[in-house]
A and B are shown apart, each in its own frame.
Chain A
């Protein structure tokens, strides 16, 4: 069974940092592109960052560029998102997602999501 399990969400003050982790199972993790997608309360979906498969390239939304860093460890089947200089507008449910292929196309498997709240 293909599964993605996120962890690391929580409450953090503006300007603070948080690291999200995603553990994958049930597929050849190293081959597939992976992304983080977020959803602010009551809002739509926003793609945040992606990492192409087979040791490829990283990509970021303009809204997080320079503040967030995506990384993956293919030996441990994990995808991380280091979030620095957090803002109130970063408050959202963050989903770890698997792509259909090696490149950033679209998300065919989603985790259950982890909630990040940025508030003083």
Chain B
């Protein structure tokens, strides 16, 4: 199975800050990577697929990059509604595997 290592596991930031989360795959997964946002008590929501493609209708402050084994998810200017846990997930091979999650809260 492909292991996905996400960091940091948690972070605190202020409104307007740039937030960056990294995800490392245990082997080359090309660009077969998704990013999800999960708010407390809610189902996850797909934000980015194919490592860098933003789901339709979502704010442009969310972006993703990377290829191979190293990936980055960025919120360019943190907003209060972005408080959530974020997960990366690879789909290069089954079983699909997720990173451990990054909990983002407000400083």
Which residues of A pack against B, CB within 8 Å?
Answer: 35, 37, 44-47, 50, 59-62, 95, 100, 104-108, 110-113
Contact with A along B87-100 (1 / 0, CB 8 A): 10101001111111
On chain B, the residues within 8 Å of A44 by CB distance are 87, 98-101
On chain A, the residues within 8 Å of B1 by CB distance are 62
Q: Is the CB of B89 within 8 A of A45?
A: yes
Q: When A and B form their complex, which 10 residue pairs have the shortest distance between CB atoms, in order from nearest?
A: A110-B43, A106-B34, A47-B96, A45-B98, A105-B91, A59-B94, A44-B101, A108-B46, A61-B95, A106-B91
For the complex, give the distance between the alpha carbons of A12 and B97 in Å: 27
Q: Is the CB of A105 within 8 A of B43?
A: no
Q: In angstroms, how far is the closest chain A Cβ from the Cβ of B78? A: 22
Q: In angstroms, how far is the closest chain B Cβ from the Cβ of A98? A: 10
Name which residue of chain B comes closest to A4, CB basis: B43
Q: A44-B100, A44-B101 are in contact. Are A107 and B94 (CB under 8 A)?
A: no
Q: A44-B87, A59-B95, A100-B49 are in contact. Are A107 and B44 (CB under 8 A)?
A: yes
On chain B, the residues within 8 Å of A112 by CB distance are 43
Q: A45-B44, A110-B45, A113-B43 are in contact. Are A104 and B91 (CB under 8 A)?
A: yes
* In the complex, B17 has a CB within 8 A of chain A: no
Name which residue of chain B comes closest to A48, CB basis: B95
* In the complex, B28 has a CB within 8 A of chain A: no
Q: In angstroms, how far is the closest chain A Cβ from the Cβ of B103? A: 10
* In the complex, B67 has a CB within 8 A of chain A: no
Q: In angstroms, how far is the closest chain B Cβ from the Cβ of A112? A: 6
